[in-house]
Chain A
Amino acid sequence: MTIEQWLEDGKSDAYRRKMPELADLLEGLARATAALRAADWNDDAGSAESTGETDAN
């Protein structure tokens, strides 16, 4: 799920449950999630470096 879609769903849920403060907090969590996903140590199944430990043999 993209962060944009996740945030839209979360904010809709917050407003439906009459928790506008939660919608504001989710904006901050979305920024943190974007930073987490952008970290260069994340696995990427499409990368040659994501198959685990290198075996020189």
Chain B
Amino acid sequence: MPTDTIASLAPQVASGAIRSERLTEDALSVITRLQPSLNAFITVTADEALALAREADRDIAAGRYRGPLHGIPLSLKDLIDIAGVTTTAASKLREGCVALHDAPVVRHLRDAGAVFVGKTNLHEFAFGTTNEDSAWGPARHPDDPTRSPGGSSGGSAIAVRTGMSIASVGTDTGGSIRIPAAACGIVGLKPGWGEVSAAGVVPLSRQLDHVGPLARSVHDAELLYNVLRGAGANSGDEDDVETLFGLKLAALDGYFAERLSDEVDAGISAALALLRQQGAKISTASIFHAQDIAPIYLHLVLADAAAYHAAALQRRPHAYTDNVRIRLEMGRHVLAEDYVRATRGRQVITHEVEQALAGVDALVLPALAIEAPPIGAATVPVMGGQESVRNVMLRCTQPFNLSGHPAISLPCGSSKAGLPIGLQLVGHAGRTPELLRVARAVERVLNSRG
């Protein structure tokens, strides 16, 4: 993985030692080289990106430096509006849907001087975890193109991992930032619900959708998070990291440890042992009704998505990929009484996440229960049985879309085959900056393993 981060590049861009135009040309060059094999982008905005980069270079030379994102090449998941560019949501249904305005998050990034190299591939309408069902074809894992990069923000994860962009912005309704981040070995942050505007973003479920960054470090994720929520690009110094001494974590047990691949189980166990050795106090905690999470989530997301798509499904059903169309049709069968039950269940799960967090700084669990799955697989072997790819991929992330708590996935080593494993930390509601401080301390220890 390219090692340049926003935090390491920004001082050089600010001083003029590195020009934004060069960074942008480098990113575009990687896109040209890898796009045929990885299919990470739907739209590449090369000319616009170079124009933005030259403008950034001129402004910086004239003393108008705007902060760490100024001149940094970024990509955006292609369900976020950039004025003048088609927002496809990876669907033929939206061909010709040119955005009239920037989404608020894009406006914030533009104000911070970011350079947009293009719009990344995704699972159609963000309605899947593998990035296979895209009208532009599947995105492919950078370590093994026969595998999924995870989804739905798969193209964004590939872009960050390979250098097609320094960082990216995605969305997460059941894990769609954290799952591809874990599968591709990068950092993915789902902020607390409502912290970052989801206006100008094609919805999957407006009550569960979160917009957030995919990046190469926690510090970069923090820089982006601050800009995305309109708080400016300032953040603590990179060296301003908490020690693990006195840090209290609670490892979620039961349901969250029951369906892990052997490699993920071993990777997470080794990480927790290291964190303990470095001074973290790790207890265990449970979500008592964890078995109810998947049914609750399913009834909410299916019905919300079906409502958004109902008119288009009637009008142009064959503009969707087959799998996504059928899943949307399924959502039209959810009964109102079951939707209400799911709404009640969501409150129960939220309360239980709060209880699990009582007395600790963060919860810790895997971000993704398996390594990146083969493209086309409906099931994968897990602990001696076969598990649905979709269900097992969502298992560790979707609870915190229901509860709205901030959650972040960090790289945590890799399998024997070299496929990345992701560790997830979950913070207190309304305290995302504290979660990021914890994540930076954990990241430092995990990175120290080499």
Contact = CB atoms under 8 A, between A and B. Distances in A.
Interface of A: 1, 6, 10, 13-14, 19, 21-22, 25-26, 29, 32-33, 35-37, 39-43
B330 A29 contact: yes
B342 interface: yes
A39 B289 contact: yes
B299 A39 contact: no
B445 interface: no
Given A29-B302, A33-B338, A36-B342, A22 B295 contact: no
Contacts of B344: 41-43
The SS class assigned to the B binding surface is helix
Contacts, number: 59
Contacts of A26: 330, 333
A36 B295 contact: yes
B292 A25 contact: no
B341 A36 contact: yes
Given A6-B335, A29-B302, A36-B292, A42 B341 contact: yes
23 contacts: A1-B335, A6-B335, A14-B329, A22-B329, A25-B326, A25-B330, A26-B330, A29-B298, A29-B333, A32-B294, A32-B299, A33-B299, A33-B335, A35-B292, A35-B295, A36-B338, A36-B341, A36-B342, A39-B292, A39-B295, A41-B289, A41-B348, A42-B341
Interface string B387-405: 0000000000000000000
B318 interface: no
B327 A39 contact: no
A31 B139 CA distance: 31
B322 to A, nearest CB: 8
B32 interface: no
A41 B253 CA distance: 21
Interface string B328-350: 01100111001001101100100
Interface in B65-118: none
A28 B341 CA distance: 18
Q: How large is the interface on B (under 10, 10 to 19, 20 to 34, 35 or more residues)?
A: 20 to 34
A8 B309 CA distance: 24
B299 A22 contact: no
A33 B292 CA distance: 10
Contacts of B294: 32
Contact of A35 (B291, B302, B326, B327): B291
A1 B322 CA distance: 29
B275 interface: no
A42 B338 CA distance: 10
Nearest to A7: B333
B299 A19 contact: no
B352 to A, nearest CB: 10
Contacts of A32: 294-295, 298-299
B329 A19 contact: yes
The SS class assigned to the A binding surface is helix
A28 B446 CA distance: 39
A43 B289 CA distance: 15
A14 B330 CA distance: 9
Given A21-B322, A29-B330, A39-B295, 15 more contacts: A13-B333, A19-B329, A25-B326, A26-B330, A26-B333, A29-B298, A36-B292, A36-B296, A39-B345, A39-B348, A40-B289, A41-B292, A41-B345, A41-B348, A42-B344
Contacts of A35: 291-292, 295
Interface string B275-314: 0000000000000010110111011001000000000000
Nearest to A32: B295
B338 A37 contact: yes
Given A41-B348, A43-B344, A36 B299 contact: yes
A36 B322 CA distance: 27
B388 to A, nearest CB: 9
Nearest to B339: A36
Contacts of A37: 338, 341
A31 to B, nearest CB: 9
B345 A25 contact: no
Q: Shortest 6 CB-CB distances between A and B: which pairs?
A: A36-B295, A32-B295, A35-B295, A41-B348, A25-B330, A10-B333
A32 B322 CA distance: 22
Of residues B299, B330, B335, which shows the largest number of chain A Cβ atoms within 10 Å of its Cβ? B330
A32 to B, nearest CB: 4
Contacts of A14: 329
Nearest to A42: B341
Contact of A22 (B291, B296, B330): B330
Contacts of B291: 35
B370 to A, nearest CB: 19
Contacts of A33: 295, 299, 335, 338
